Structure formats: C-alpha cells, structure tokens
Amino acid sequence: MHTAEHGPASGLRVVVLGGSGCLGRRIGAAFRADGAQTHLVSRKPAGDGPADARHVALDLLAADARELAGFFGSVAPDVVVNAAGRVWQGDEAAMTAGNADLVVRLTRALARLPRPPRLIQLGTVHEYGAGTPGSGTREEQEPAPVTPYGRTKLLGTQAVLRAVADDGVDGVVLRLAQVIGAGVPATSLFGKVAAHLGEAARARSRGEEPDALRLPPLRARRDLVDMRDTVDAVRAAAVAPKADVSGQVINVGRGEAVPMRALIDRMVGLSGLDLTVAEAAPGPSPRTDVAWQQLDVSRALRLLGWQPRRTLDDSLRDLLAAALPAPVNGRT
C-alpha cells in the first residue's frame, strides 16, 4: 500500500465503481492525471468519458461477491473508490440494493483478497438526519436519517465499518455534504435550476420571454461542497496512512449552512439573466424536510490535510458554464 502522506497517487492501481457517473468520472480523471492506473467500472462507459480510460463493463447490482472478487483479483488494485449507488431514484428497495447490498458484497469480495486494497466509501450528510441549528455535526453524532436515501447510505457505511472491524478490510467513509458544480444530476435542485437557466438563455436569444423559475419552498440551510474539492478529498484519502484513516468516518463539506433561497438567487444573478423566481408558499413541513445541515470538517483537516478551497461562486460558475449556451457572465 502506498503510504506517502498526502502525496500523489502516481503508480497506484485504482478502481472507481460508478465510473460513468458525474462524480466517478471526475475522480477517475484526477487519479489518471496523478499517474495512477485507473479502471472505471459501470454497466456501460460514459459517452463523454476520456478515450484513454480503462472501462470495465460490469453490472454491479447483479455481480455477486465471488464475481467481484475475481475482478479485483485480476486487477490487484491499491485503492477502490465506491462512487456507485442510487441517489433519489426508485423506491427504498431499489436504494437498498444500490447503496447497502452492493456494499456488503463489495466488502466481502475485498476481504477475500490476499492484500485488501484501501476502500473509500462515499457516504452522505443525509445519514445524520437533522442537524442542530447554529452548529456543525461531528462524526461522533448518532445518525438518525429521515429519508430512504439517508437510511440506505447509512447501511452502506455500517457495512464498511463492520468489514474493517471483523474482516481486516482497510476502509474509510467520506461523508459528503451536497456536492455542487458542473455535472450535478439533472434531478437535483441545482441541476434543475441550471437546466431552466439554460432554456431561459436560449429563449432570450430567440427574442422570447422566458418562463419564470418556479421552485418549491426554499426554507432550508444546507452544507455544500465543490465537486473538485470532493475529488481532492478522495485523492487525499487514497494515500493517507492506514493507521490514520482505516475505520474512520470523515466529514467532507464547507462547514457552513447556506440558505438555499439566497444561493439560488445568486445563481440567477451570476447567469446574467433577469428572471423571475417564484417560490411556492410554504405548507406543512414534512418530516423529511431537514431544516439545517452543517458539517464539522475538522477531522478531514486533521487526518487528510484537506479543507475546502473553492468558493460557492466558483461552484456556481462551473455549473452555469456547463448549462448556459454562452460563457457565464462574470459580474458580481
């Protein structure tokens, strides 16, 4: 295992599960840029993936532990990054299959190897449930997820920690805040807003009045982390000493709770579009509508030497540059 503290990943063999996803592709590209031999695993390669990437076609939801162990045995990876799973697609059973059952099979497969690689499991802030207004959630807090996504991702985290304790797997969980930047899923709030702004810009170019941006009530404050900062945290976790990180849950976020309405208004402002934002009137708050999410990220600095470097404007400009038909207006 390469143990140069926070050094480059040059020479490592890295497997990225979910390598065709928006985050998996960027993780793979970063490791390749570091000089790592990188395999991107998914049912089919991304259409916009790099031509020099090693793509492995494998249905992770159908592969059993023996098949996974055979694949890992042939590659002999130093690092496995699990960026696969279900975000908000499907019902809780489908999320359980992608976020929990897969991780159990994955850890069993890695435990069979003569030299288990470093496993980096990508978790989520939603595993915690509601945060305490005015403070950041530390890793020691007992998770209390209130959504199917949070519940099933927590099962995946628990599977990794059990495998470390019981089977000698070298595993670490990065518990991510909401990731923002170019390529976020179209089904997410920011993906939907970016798509609407792109359509609005095209309508204006045709001399048409664009539709108002209609959104649900935006009462929450959320912790967000830039896509590139997230990738940097994964790279740091890949080369951190085993004694420091194996068996750890490490928060990765900006460490602040940002008002969502203010962030959407800023996004519209950066787009350069004069667009009406129509927020629906608040109704009864559902139990799953968590009002405050803020992570304490001091452990990431201590164990990984990682801290967020990009501003929210950096993230929003990246997101808009990928969605708008013209360069993003740089006004502030």
Residue carrying the six token digits 């890949």? 238
Collapsing DSSP states into helix, strand and coil, what is residue 270?
A: helix
Q: How far apart are CA 184 and CA 23, in angstroms?
A: 8
Residue carrying the six token digits 């709770």? 257
Which DSSP string do the residues of 141-202 spell out, in sequence order? SPP---SHHHHHHHHHHHHHHHHHHHH--EEEEEEE-EEESTT--TTSHHHHHHHHHHHHHH
Which DSSP string do the residues of 12-24 spell out, in sequence order? -EEEEETTTSHHH
Q: How far apart are CA 271 and CA 329, in angstroms?
A: 6
CA 84 to chain centre: 10
Active site residue 149: yes
CA–CA distance from 119 to each of 128, 234, 238 (Å)?
A: 21, 11, 8
Q: At what angle do helices 102-111 and 65-75 cross, to 10 degrees?
A: 50
Q: How far apart are CA 253 and CA 307, in angstroms?
A: 8
Q: How far apart are CA 28 and CA 179, in angstroms?
A: 17
Q: How does DSSP classify residue 55? A: E
Q: Give me the catalytic one of 31, 72, 128, 149.
A: 149
Q: How far apart are CA 206 and CA 88, in angstroms?
A: 35
Picking from 124, 123, 142, the residue whose alpha carbon sits closest to that of residue 132 is 142
Cα-Cα-Cα-Cα torsion 42, 48, 53, 56, nearest 10 degrees, comes to 20
The set of catalytic residues is: 149
